[in-house]
Structure 1
Amino acid sequence: MIFQDETGKRWFKVKALFFTSLLMLLGFVSLFILHRYGVVNLPWTNKFTGQLFAVMKQAFIAYLFFTIVLGFVRMFIIYIFCFKQHRKNKVLTEYRKINKNHLRNFRPSVTVIIPVYNEEVVIRRTVRAILKSDYPVAEILIVDDGSTDQTAEIATKIFHLWDKVKVIKKVNGGKSSALNLGFKQAIGDIVITIDADTVFHKSTISHLVDSFSDPRVAAVSGNCKIGNIINQITLWQHIEYVTANQLEKRAFEELNCITVVPGSNSAWRKSVVQKLGYYHKDTLAEDSELTLRILNAGYKIVYEDRAISYEECPETVRDFIKQRNRWSYGILQVAWKHKKNILTSSNKTLKYFAVPSLLFSYLLFLTSPLIDFIFIAAILSGTSSIYLFALLFYLTDFLNSFIAFKMGKEKMKPLMWVFIQRIGYRYLLAYVTWTAVIRAFRGRQVGWRKLNRSGNNAYKV
């Protein structure tokens, strides 16, 4: 597993560097205090301290200015390509209506893979929704990765009359191994992957398959929505999902640099996945890792907003942090694994926009408490330029969500919480990101840390 360091040497070096720096700082502070109270005569400490604080202040102001300006530039680029993709989709929709009889001839065989581990609460609805699909799937493979509950037994008992539903039991080996087993046994040319807590709309598979009529397309990312909006933490995730899908996914598709095709709602050309060696097991973000390999191999990845799914998101702060710790750590692993491939990639938008955008997001999460501190200090000190820039940034952030909800035809009521959501999210994600970075330095093995299912998905099958 990437970042794993059983010797502990890396973490020892990090701690040694940290404590050495801390001791040097404490030593200087002690000398400054002793001089201030006349115990020792060290006049250089006053001059050095003044210069140090002046440099720190200028550095903080420059950093805030840099992040705001870079954020605006990033958003401007996303707006341009998002609206470009949206206009293109309108044309495609008209084309599909006019040529619907011809397009119906493209009907590749499809296998749906559901990797499961202790999913007895939700497996019924997931499979039933797929069976109601308007696309005739060849088979549904439920790959049981060593569940300790009744998942396999329930699936076998309820769906034994459907020949296309097959339960495959295996020893626990992780989600990647379950997906790989499913791919190797799949008979479909197109493979749909779906998480056990996710429910498909009846037309989702049809829309996922449409794009594969283009032989350059190797993967399609669906439109993931939250199905259990029951409290503030789930509402915040709803805002996040809509904004990310309707803005970033659209723009990144137009630029052909989507960095993750989520395993909860995705379609893959099986021949390409086979050619690239299936899912790798050395990261916790197996879907993102495979996505980058596909992009680096020169294939095209599409976002299909009509392929709607509803999934169960974490309902408590504790479960949210558990899930995002895995995501953040996994993405760090993927970025580290592919650092050389990214630098030499022929996909220029991946190299010069998508990956820098990802790193910029991590930088913001890591420093968000500092940015808030500078913002408050600017208000108290009367530094109006920083205050106005920050206010403009927050308004732009709101505009992002407003446009995304409008584009996705979502109800606008949740946006009344967007300012609170951004503040709460910043600190949750700052904690998650710092935890992921520290775990990477510590080098300890990080497991999947599966969430318990509530079964609160409100979407009606």
Structure 2
Amino acid sequence: MLDILALLQVSAAFIGIGPFVFHWIRMKKYSNQSMKIPPEPSSWPSLTIVLPVWNEEMVIQKKLEDLVKQDYPKDKMEILVIDSNSSDSTMDIFHKWNSEHSHDVKVKSIQMPSRLGKSAAINRILLEPLDTDAIVITDADALLADGALKRIGRWLSDPNIGAVCGSQQILGNSESNHIIDEKTYRSFYHDLRIGESTVFSSPIFEGSLAAYRNSLVLGHQIDATYNADDSQLALLINRSGSRSIMDSELCFFEYLPSSKEAASIRRLRRASGLVHLFSRNKPASFSSINRNFSRIMRIESWIHLIMPLLVLISLISMFFHIFISAFSVVTDVPLQVNHTGLLIIDSMFLAFLLFGNKLRISLILRSFFVSQWTLIVANFGMYRGVDYRYWEQDIESRKSLIEK
């Protein structure tokens, strides 16, 4: 029995995590080779800044003010607010702000007939006869760094770049475990996104600030039955042969959810969108477009769809192995050397987890297993048909944003 458990534990861990570790090491190396951003163009691309909202009365005015203060030619930008049938005063505040504040930016709005989710709202935008060069989609609770739009404009002056997204900078000094876990997760996976962008493209985008070339996305539709509108559009860009990249210096600022429960829901929504994305977009379909991107898609599909299950099998086998081995030691039943060694390794592994926030390795392990559990729940939710498209805003993080 111990032999079977040991074999399951080690083989599932090696087969499951091995490709991920190899991919991370490879992408970490590439992430240190910074991509060269094009110089400022003689003529800036025109941008439609899309702001999807639903019940954002707390932050919409601050968000609009944040956008119009961006250092970008005002005749080259317009703001398009799309409201998913808000039940609060979001649109009243928007119309009041637009009528009472003088600005040189064209501002307009679209009203959705009902709340259908962000992906459906983006589909509505993709059917608009926009005469600009690109859309910039940004969330109501995200603030842009100074010069963010100009970095987008510079990237889009390169005809090979079809999409570019920003890098999240977390606001606040909370030391809650769920916030520490999110920061650790973000720093670890950020290297993957930058490395993939350097190789060719990243399939996973940051929807809080992402720009897409209109000639490649307008007239198309994404799957509105699940989240990940940002990454769906990135794949659409790649199917055209263009690149979708993350820029580490294109920053936006957000407060994380204040409670553990709200953070878990947000994490699950993100994971659900990605497992749907990779289950419905086969890596082989990109092989004729770009082999490097097809390889990235293959690894990311493994990471999101297969690795969590193998990690779960390995952990279950580990706990049974620890229990039976410990029982054998207590009852004076001799253990083989290999099982004794594995018991010691397992005990050290658990000890690292118990150190919590005191060691870097402990933070990485805890963040990793939280993400794996979230992906397991998201995968089971996908097969059960659970809908994660709708959510309630985190009030405390929005209060922090307007007080900033």
TM-score by structure 2 length? 0.81
| CA apart distance, 1:373 | 5.9
Shift in alpha-carbon separation, 1:230–1:417, aligned structure 2, 3 A? farther
Question: Is 1:331 aligned with 2:274?
Answer: yes
What do the CA deviations read for 1:231-277 (whole angstroms, capped 9, x no partner)?
A: 422232223223322x11210001213012222111111111115x0
Matches within 5 A, 1:322-401: 322-339=265-282, 342=285, 344-368=287-311, 371-372=314-315, 381-383=339-341, 387=345
- Counterpart secondary structure, 2:253: strand
Q: Using the alignment, how far apart are the partners of 1:241 and 1:287 within structure 2? A: 17
| CA apart distance, 1:67 | 4.3
User: What is the one-letter code of the residue matched to 2:267?
Assistant: R
Question: Is 1:153 aligned with 2:92?
Answer: yes
Aligned residue in 2 for 1:26: none
| CA apart distance, 1:130 | 0.9
Shift in alpha-carbon separation, 1:301–1:343, aligned structure 2, 3 A? closer
Shift in alpha-carbon separation, 1:266–1:68, aligned structure 2, 3 A? closer
Instruction: Name the % identity.
Output: 19
Moved more, 228-237 or 418-427: 418-427
Aligned residue in 1 for 2:183: 238
Aligned residue in 1 for 2:135: 191
Question: Is 1:121 aligned with 2:71?
Answer: no
User: What is the one-letter code of the residue matched to 2:345?
Assistant: Y
Matches within 5 A, 1:436-455: 436-454=378-396, 455=398
Aligned residue in 1 for 2:46: 109
Shift in alpha-carbon separation, 1:190–1:445, aligned structure 2, 3 A? closer
What do the CA deviations read for 1:311-366 (whole angstroms, capped 9, x no partner)?
A: 23222221122222222222222222222753655322232234323423554434
Aligned residue in 2 for 1:227: 171
| CA apart distance, 1:444 | 4.6
What do the CA deviations read for 1:205-239 (whole angstroms, capped 9, x no partner)?
A: 11111111111211001112222443422232223
Q: Using the alignment, how far apart are the partners of 1:274 and 1:212 within structure 2? A: 16
- Counterpart secondary structure, 1:382: helix
Aligned residue in 2 for 1:263: 207
Matches within 5 A, 1:27-426: 53-67=2-16, 69-84=18-33, 86=34, 89=35, 92=36, 96=39, 103-137=40-74, 138-160=77-99, 161=101, 162=103, 164-172=106-114, 173-183=116-126, 184=128, 186-232=130-176, 233-245=178-190, 247-274=191-218, 277-339=220-282, 342=285, 344-368=287-311, 371-372=314-315, 381-383=339-341, 387=345, 418-426=360-368
Aligned residue in 2 for 1:99: none
Say whether the 8 Å CA contact 2:136–2:211 is kept in structure 1.
Answer: yes
TM-score by structure 1 length? 0.72
User: What is the one-letter code of the residue matched to 1:134?
Assistant: D
Q: Using the alignment, how far apart are the partners of 1:447 and 1:71 within structure 2? A: 28
Alignment gaps of 5+ in structure 2: 327-338
Alpha-carbon RMSD across the aligned residues, in angstroms, is 3.3
Q: Using the alignment, how far apart are the partners of 1:177 and 1:58 within structure 2? A: 47
User: What is the one-letter code of the residue matched to 2:26?
Assistant: I
Say whether the 8 Å CA contact 2:156–2:162 is kept in structure 1.
Answer: yes
Aligned residue in 1 for 2:333: none
What do the CA deviations read for 1:125-179 (whole angstroms, capped 9, x no partner)?
A: 2111111101124211111110001111111112323462323322123212322
Say whether the 8 Å CA contact 1:209–1:267 is kept in structure 2.
Answer: no
